[in-house]
Every structure is written in structure tokens, then in C-alpha cells.
Amino acid sequence: MSKGTQKVVEFPDREAIELEAATWIVRQGEEDFGVDGAAALAAWLKASERHRDAYRRLTSTWEAAEVLRELDDIADSVEVPAPDALWSPARRGALLAMAAALLLAVGVVQFGVLPQRPQPDPSRDYVTAVGEQRTIDLADGTVVRLNTDTALSVHLADDARRVRLLQGEAFFEVAHDPDRPFTVSSRAGSVRAVGTAFATRLKDREVLEVTVAEGRVEVTFQSDQPDLAAAPQSAPVEVAAGNTVLYSRDRQEVAPASETEIDRKLSWRDGVVIFAGESLRTVVDDVSRYTDLEISIADERLESLPIGGYFRVGETEALFESLELVFGINVERVGDGRIVLSPGV
Amino acid sequence: MSEIYRVFMKHKPALRRLVRRHLAPGVDAEDVLQEAFVKAYAAELKNVVEHPKPFLFQVARNTALADLRRSQGSPIDGTVDFEATALPTHTTAGDGTEALDSRRKLRAFTMAVVRLPPKCRKAFLLRRMEGLSYKQIANRMGISVSAAEKHVALGLVRCHAFLVEQGYEPDEFGRTMDGETMHQSARPGRRDQP
């Protein structure tokens, strides 16, 4: 096949991907997008690096387009003179008075017909691809940091602030507002806070891990899944800063954690995953969250090898390099995105 | 097509000369021109411009004068000038950079939006400027909800392509949402319109 043919094929392909990405992005905030939409989007993102790239770039543009709202205010501040009044100060005064009167009339009419401006949709979904991290500022002042491969939906109402963690991990710095409790719910349980900072991670869809950095939160089993909601409820667990909780329907483990441990658990917020003697198995499981590569350990004896150091999100190659150089592990690339770790010679 | 845009493209050299006459040396006439266009176009979106040509020239002149006054650092004089108070093209201390960047961003997006096909543009503005739902857009335009979504999605792709072509890096834009600083390098290309 000639080079020319390849070029012809590639261009429309890029446009098609961008249009698909745009179709996801513009629908994402819609009410009917929901869990199904988020799952379908996640699958689409997972399918290809090019999908993720287009999605990321177009999302930036979409969010930046918010600036167009300013056009509305600008229009109000631009004075529109009649052409013959352009250079005549006397007529200009009269015209301004007329304009003011007109403005009043328009104001009254608008008030009667349209009692309020359309508000931006209060519900929104946020998704990150594998290896992507993202920070969002919610309208109430809460800051949310999404880790890799995460999906959550946010609903801010007058009396409550609700977040559903569909998958993955997120850190919340909750803006203090006692009148609007802040709840993060998931399949495995939910966390209630008024103003504090904590991380939630949904593990294997069944276990919710909560790490509290500041203040205190209340963890309850209140699944957002109808099939589980009817299950017997266990008592809420109150958790203070400096603790981690593993929570599911039949398991509530609150464990105190040292400051260093909390820092380590939350280090992903800075794009770094720190290990302090965890087994290679744990390291591989954790790093796998950030990459599409499928990493396997060929030899059982390697699994428990303690690993220390840090992994910078996105720099999977550097990790393999240190596994080889520092830990003497043999890193083998097997065809399509598969990595096999075996004992070095 | 937007009348203001048509006039803008047709009389750009004359507008540029007008703006240059009023500007301090060293100030980029292109920035001021675009700023004037944004104001005039914003007014047109509200259907209040009956005579686009004199209006656009007037706005361009006011914008240039406001810019000059600001760059000389003189206090705003006795006359109430909305252009000068509300619409900085140059900013000074404090959160100035942010305002400047936001204004650049708005200019870039306005130039992108105005080039969209009519229905696409209308749907995109109803969504992104007025914040209407797709259902409301569909009602307003007499089209189906899915058609409204398609127009908006296509608008996004085209705006994106235009911005990239102009030398903007949309990645840099998005970061302001993340509370990080936008890079100063995110500037439009200086080339004239075809």
C-alpha cells in the first residue's frame, strides 16, 4: 500500500475521533447521562490512547469556552448610539436618557416574563482516564482531586451536597457549610462531612477506603445501589483525622495511621506514588491503576519482595528501569502491552 | 453570517488605521481591534445594532481611547465611559494577569464562534453563553434534542480546530479551571484573516 493512501485514511480518522470525543463531552453534564453514560465513556476512553488524547484536549477547550458567558455582560456595557448621534454631544444626552428609559422598560418586562436566568446545570459528571489526574473546583468552594481511572458525579443542592463515587479514587477538601452536609456515596458505603479533607477510594467495587487528613467524618453503610440498599445497616462509624477506614457491608476496620502513612496514602495527589517496603505484588497492583500495561509476576517468590521508593504517575518506564537496575528484576516486554517480571540472573 | 463580522472583515484595514491613530506607540493594534470586535459582536447578539458599520467604528475608537488612557495611567476623567471602566485590555497590578488572560481567551473564542455555521453557532452560544439545556435549545431552535447536541459537539470540534490553528494551546486554557496559572505563551497567532 502506498504512503499516499495511508495519509488519506489518517486524517478523517482524527476528525471522527474528535467528533466522538466532543459528543461525549457536551453530553456529560446531562441528567440522563448517568451511570450508564459514565461507564460507556470510560470504555470508550479505555479503548485507545487517541481517544483519551482527543477527550483531554477537547475538554480543555470546552471548559475554556465558559468564558463566552462574559459576552452577556459586555453587551450590557456597550452603549449603542444611533448613527446620526455618533458625534453630536447634545443628541447623545437625549439619547442616553431614552436608552435609560428603554432599559427600565426592558428590565420590567424581562422580570415579568423570565423571573430568573437559566442556571448552569447543578449536576455534573467528572471522569479521568487511566493515568490521568485532574483537579476540579466545585461551585461551593470544595476542591476535588481525581486520581487515575475515576468517575464521579456531583450534585449541589440548596440543602445538601452529594457526590457519587462510581469508581476510582478522589480527595475532597470540603468547603465548610454546616447547612449543606457533604456526602460521598458509593456502592460500598458513604461518607458524610461538614467541612474537612479526606480521600475515598473504591477498591474492587466492594470496599470503600477512607483516609481522613483533617477534621472528622462519619462513615455509614448506605449503598447507592438499590439491590444493596435494603441490606441490614451497620452503625455509623465516626472517624477522626489521622485514621483510615476500610468499609463494606460486612467489614468496618478503623485503623490509626501515622502522619507519614497518611502522607504516603495521599501522595498520589502530587502525582507520585510512594512505597515504603510494600511487597512487589502490592506495588504492581497499585501501579497497574495508572497504566494500560498488563504487568504480571512470573515467579511466586518475587511477589513478597519488599520495594521502597517512589513512582511518578505516567513514568512507568522509569519504574521498570529501577526494578531492573536497583532490584535486579528481569523486565520482559511480551508483545502487546504486556510486561512480565521474573527473577534476574 | 453576523453583520458585525461581515463589516469587520470588509473594513479591517480602515478599522486598523483608526485604532492606530489613537494608540500609544508599541501597543498591538490587533489586540485592540479584536477587543472592539468582541464588544460589537456581544451587542449584536442582543439584537440592538441597527447600523453595524458606524457602530463598529465607534466602538473601535472608544476601545482605542480607553486603552490609551489606561496605558498613560491617568485617572478616568469626568465623563462616564463604560468602555474604560468595565473592559480593560491592559491590566495593572493585582490579579491583572488573570483578567488579561481571560480577556484574551474571550477574544479567541469569539473569533472562533463567529466562524461557525449559523445553526451550529446558535446552538453553541445558547449552551455555552446562556447556559441553556439541550431541551431548551431544541425548543428555541425548533430542532430535536439530539440535533442540538450534534450542533454543539460540532461547534466544539470546529472552535478547537480554529484555536489550534491560531496558535492557542487549548491544554493551557483548561488549566485555569484547575486553579493553575495559564501560560503566557497561549497567545493567538498574528496573521490576518484570509
Higher per-residue confidence, A303 vs B184: A303
At A2 the pLDDT is: 41
CB proximity B179 to A under 8 Å: yes
Other residues' Cβ atoms within 10 Å of the Cβ of residue A183: 19
pLDDT digits over B132-153, tens only? Answer: 999 999 999 999 999 999 999 9
Give me the residues of chain A with pLDDT under 70, please. 1-12, 79-122, 194, 205, 221-235, 345
Q: What ipTM score was computed for the predicted complex, to two decimals? A: 0.75
Rounded mean pLDDT, B108-129: 92
Least confident of A6-10, B18-22, B59-63, B127-131: A6-10
At A295 the pLDDT is: 92
Do residue A23 and residue B82 have CB atoms under 8 angstroms apart? no
pLDDT digits over B83-109, tens only? Answer: 333 333 333 334 445 555 788 889 999
Contacts of B63 in chain A (CB under 8 A): none
- Kindly list the distances between the CA atom of residue A280 and the CA atoms of A6, A154, A207, A306, A309, in Å, as whole numbers in the listed order: 43, 36, 22, 6, 12
Give the gyration radius of chain B's Cα atoms: 18
Q: Find out whether A180 and A159 touch, Cβ atoms under 8 Å.
A: yes
Chain A: give the shortest CA distance to residue B165, in Å: 13
Which SS3 state, helix, strand or coil, does residue B179 take?
A: coil
Provide the CB-side half-sphere exposure for B67 (13 A, CA): 27
Query: Could you write out the three-class secondary structure of chain A?
Result: CCHHHHHHHHHHHHHHHHHHHHHHHHHCCCCCCHHHHHHHHHHHHHHCHHHHHHHHHHHHHHHHHHHHHHHHHHHHHCCCCCHHHCCCHHHHHHHHHHHHHHHHHHHHHHHHHCCCCCCCCCEEEEECCCCCCEEEECCCCCEEEECCCCEEEEEECCCCEEEEEEEEEEEEECCCCCCCCEEEECCCCEEEECCCEEEEEEECCCEEEEEEEECEEEEECCCCCHHHHCCCCCCCEEEECCEEEEEECCEEEEEECCHHHHHHHCHHHHCEEEEEEEEHHHHHHHHHCCCCCEEEECCHHHHCCEEEEEEECCCHHHHHHHHHHCCCEEEEEECCCEEEEEECC
Least confident of B13-17, B148-152, B157-161: B13-17
Best of A19, A41, A71, A87 to disrupt the B interface (most B CBs within 10 Å) is: A71
pLDDT above 90: residue B24: no
At B41 the pLDDT is: 92
**A286 phi/psi in degrees, rounded to 5:** -70, -45
Provide the CB-side half-sphere exposure for A197 (13 A, CA): 12
Least confident of A119-128, B30-39, B45-54: A119-128
In sign, the C-alpha dihedral spanning B82, B87, B90, B91 is positive
CB proximity A99 to B under 8 Å: no
CB proximity B163 to A under 8 Å: yes
CB proximity B135 to A under 8 Å: no
Q: Find out whether B149 and B141 touch, Cβ atoms under 8 Å.
A: no
Q: What is the rounded distance in angstroms from the CA atom of residue A137 to the CA atom of residue B25?
A: 41
Which SS3 state, helix, strand or coil, does residue B74 take?
A: coil
Q: What is the rounded distance in angstroms from the CA atom of residue A293 to the CA atom of residue A307?
A: 20
Higher per-residue confidence, A147 vs B76: A147
Least confident of A45-54, B10-19, B47-56, B58-67: B47-56
Nearest alpha carbon to residue A71 among B92, B81, B113, B129 = B129
Rounded mean pLDDT, B164-188: 52
Q: Which residues, 6+ apart, have CB-to-CB distance to B190 below 8 Å?
A: B30
Nearest alpha carbon to residue B15 among B34, B41, B39 = B34
Q: Find out whether A174 and A212 touch, Cβ atoms under 8 Å.
A: no
Categorize the per-residue pLDDT at B72 as very low, low, confident or very high, splitting at 50, 70 and 90. low
pLDDT digits over A113-135, tens only? Answer: 333 333 444 577 888 888 888 88
At A312 the pLDDT is: 80
At A226 the pLDDT is: 55
Q: Find out whether A246 and A199 touch, Cβ atoms under 8 Å.
A: no
How far the first Cα of chain B sits from its last, in Å, is 16
Do residue A63 and residue B177 have CB atoms under 8 angstroms apart? yes
pLDDT above 70: residue B173: no
At B175 the pLDDT is: 44
Chain B: give the shortest CA distance to residue A51, in Å: 14
Contacts of B160 in chain A (CB under 8 A): 18, 22, 57-58, 61
Q: In this complex, how many residue pairs, one in chain A and one in chain B, have their CB atoms less than 8 Å apart?
A: 149
Chain A: give the shortest CA distance to residue B156, in Å: 6
At A225 the pLDDT is: 57
**A206 phi/psi in degrees, rounded to 5:** -110, -25
Q: Which residue of B has its CA nearest to A77?
A: B82
Q: What is the rounded distance in angstroms from the CA atom of residue A306 to the CA atom of residue A10?
A: 46
pLDDT above 70: residue B53: yes
Chain B: give the shortest CA distance to residue A74, in Å: 6
Write out the H or E segment, with its range, that includes residue B181.
Answer: none
Q: What is the rounded distance in angstroms from the CA atom of residue B70 to the CA atom of residue B62?
A: 12
pTM confidence score = 0.46
Higher per-residue confidence, B27 vs B170: B27
Do residue A65 and residue B128 have CB atoms under 8 angstroms apart? yes
Contacts of B161 in chain A (CB under 8 A): 18
Which of 91-110 (B) contact A at CB < 8 A?
102, 105-106, 109-110
Q: Find out whether A325 and A318 touch, Cβ atoms under 8 Å.
A: no
Chain B: give the shortest CA distance to residue A87, in Å: 9
- Kindly list the distances between the CA atom of residue A200 and the CA atoms of A37, A41, A150, A171, A210, in Å, as whole numbers in the listed order: 22, 22, 11, 6, 5
Q: What is the rounded distance in angstroms from the CA atom of residue A202 to the CA atom of residue A224?
A: 13
Q: Cell match 465513556: residue?
A: A41
**A145 phi/psi in degrees, rounded to 5:** -110, 120
At B159 the pLDDT is: 94
Which SS3 state, helix, strand or coil, does residue B114 take?
A: helix
Nearest alpha carbon to residue A248 among A215, A217, A286, A219 = A219
Q: Find out whether B67 and B100 touch, Cβ atoms under 8 Å.
A: no
Provide the CB-side half-sphere exposure for A334 (13 A, CA): 11
Which of 7-26 (B) contact A at CB < 8 A?
none
Write out the H or E segment, with its range, that includes residue B141.
Answer: helix B134-141
Higher per-residue confidence, B72 vs B19: B19
Q: Find out whether A243 and A257 touch, Cβ atoms under 8 Å.
A: yes
